[in-house]
Amino acid sequence: MLFERARQVFPGGVNSPARALKHLPSPLVAKAASGPYLYTDRGRLVDYCMAFGAIILGHAHPRVKRAVEEQLERGWIYALLTEQEVEFAEAIRRHMPSVEKMRIVNTGTEATMNAIRLARGYTKRDVIIKFDGNFHGSHDYVLVKAGSGAATWGIPTSAGVPQDVVKLTVVAPYNDVDAFLKAVREVGDRLAAVIAEPVAGNYGLIIPDAEFLKALREETKRVGALLIFDEVITGFRLGLGGAQGRFGIRPDLTTLGKVVGGGFPIGIFGGRAEVMDLIAPSGPVYNAGTYNAHPVSVAAGLAVLKELETGEPYRIADEAAGRLAKGIEDIAGRLGFDVVVKQISSMFQFYFKKGDVKTPQDVRESNEKMYLKLHEIALRHGVYLTPSQFEVNFTSATHTREVVEETLAALEKAFQQLKT
């Protein structure tokens, strides 16, 4: 069996923990992907993970494929400036005006790591505040969890992260203005930056109150710290302007990834020109990378942006997520399950619980076991929901009405079986 071989060569048999699908006897093995479908060792599945949000046009989109093929014809790496990356950056800035200047790197992890380093370099301060349940990638500054207090000086979430590093990261509750203000007071004049997912997509889906985001903006400004919006998921998914456009908030720095690379490795950090000019070679904050602004990722990203600019992909993907959210609510209600469904644009998630979901604590109170059981049953009916209660389901421009109907019919059967 492939998993046995994989276990001999990869820790846990996979190359990223979420792929382990530990609630199943063995991980899914992908063979191909096209449109809304994944072709796997368990057959054809309607995909709602969409590479954890990296894909918005659908898998193997012909225009993206063509752009990549054209790039390959011209060679695929030069480690020099290209016209294409300038065009790409200009398009990003046009849609996201807070990103006046940017640096194109390879992953969201690199983007947040560099944005934090830059904020520290700019403010000459060292402490950052992050939020419980927000995820910013797998580097030491942010692999930090909350302790038991309201706002806590960090505890590493990973072995190997030095206590001395995470003691510079304070963790505050998400979507709680009072607790945030208290954390800012506690940190005082050492606060370099506040980093937040403006819509949280790594602890299920948590849509914060507009007042919370407003408080982040006003308070950071007041104390001379920078506000970093981590839009690795939301950038170009919640519309061309991202979450910042939607909520009308201008952060100092923004991080992007996923959608903006069309499924190829990418990360971007950018923001106020005056701050970005501190990045090497124009300033003293170091960032460099052999693969920075990789021509293949940039070609794919540019092709994605051109499609998104027509508005059509958003129309289809957002409508699909809306219909699925409503459909799941209906099915669960009819069959007597207490389920909360949350949706924004082409992101949705549902929780087995009563009441509402506004904070990470609400997510923790939902019945994760039920979600995983449903996930396993849905797979047998040809639907690959996002593989954890703590992730988000994503739709794409290929999740047409027919695909949504097919999914809801499968989920109806899955919920029925869950009951028995």
Phi, psi of 146 (to 5 degrees): -80, 145
Q: Under the criterion CB under 6 A, does residue 232 sit at the interface with ligand PLP?
A: yes
Q: Find the residue with minimal CB distance to ligand PLP.
A: 108
Cβ nearer to ligand PLP, comparing 133 with 327: 133
Q: What are the DSSP calls for 297-327, one per residue?
A: HHHHHHHHHHHHTTSHHHHHHHHHHHHHHHH
| Least gap, CB of 349 to ligand PLP (angstroms) | 14
CB of residue 348 vs ligand PLP: minimum separation in angstroms? 16
Helix and strand totals (H; E) in the chain: 15, 17
| H/E element, 344 | strand 339-344
The single residue listed with the structure tokens 């509750």 is 173
Q: Which is nearer to ligand PLP, 107 or 220 (CB)?
A: 107
Judged by CB under 6 A, the stretch of 129-137, 325-333, 362-370, 395-403 that binds ligand PLP is 129-137
For β-strands 267-271 and 253-257, DSSP reports them as antiparallel
x-or-dash string of contact with ligand PLP, 147-176, rule CB under 6 A: ------------------------------
State yes or no: residue 233 binds ligand PLP (CB under 6 A): yes
Nearest to ligand PLP of 363, 418 (CB atom): 363
Counting contacts by CB under 6 A, is residue 392 touching ligand PLP?
no
Positive or negative, the CA dihedral 216, 218, 220, 223 is: negative
Q: Is 160 helix (H, G, I), strand (E, B) or coil?
A: coil
Binding mask 252-291 toward ligand PLP (x if CB under 6 A, else -) reads: -----x---------x------------------------
Burial class (CB in 10 A: 0-12, 13-18, 19+), 381: middle
- Please report where in the chains the tokens 């889906």 appear, as a residue: 205
Residues 327-386 within binding reach of ligand PLP (CB under 6 A)? none
Question: Measured from the CB atom, is 137 or 173 closer to ligand PLP?
Answer: 137
Tokens of 188: 């005082």
Of 98 and 202, which CB lies nearer to ligand PLP in the complex structure?
Answer: 202
281 cis-preceded (ω within 30 degrees of 0): yes
**Residues 6 or more apart whose Cβ sits within 8 Å of residue 94:** none
Token output for 135: 């995820």
Which position among 137, 204, 235, 251 is part of the footprint of ligand PLP (CB under 6 A)?
137
CA distance 352 to 332: 9
Site string for ligand PLP, 181-200 (x = CB under 6 A): ----------------x---
Sheet holding 339-344, edge to edge: 339-344, 347-352, 393-394
257 versus 301: smaller Cβ distance to ligand PLP:
257
Dihedral angle, C-alpha 336, 342, 344, 347, nearest 10 °: -90
Q: Which of 136, 217, 342, 375 binds ligand PLP (CB under 6 A)?
A: 136
CB nearer ligand PLP, residue 141 or residue 415: 141
Give the C-alpha separation, 342 to 325, whole Å: 7
Minimal distance, residue 233 CB to ligand PLP, in Å: 5
Instruction: Confirm or reject binding of residue 52 to ligand PLP (CB under 6 A).
Output: yes
Could you give the string, one character per residue 99-128, with x where binding to ligand PLP holds by CB under 6 A and - elsewhere?
A: --------xxx--x----------------
Structure tokens at 334: 């009819």
Residues near ligand PLP (CB under 6 A) are 52, 107-109, 112, 135-137, 197, 201-202, 230, 232-233, 257, 267
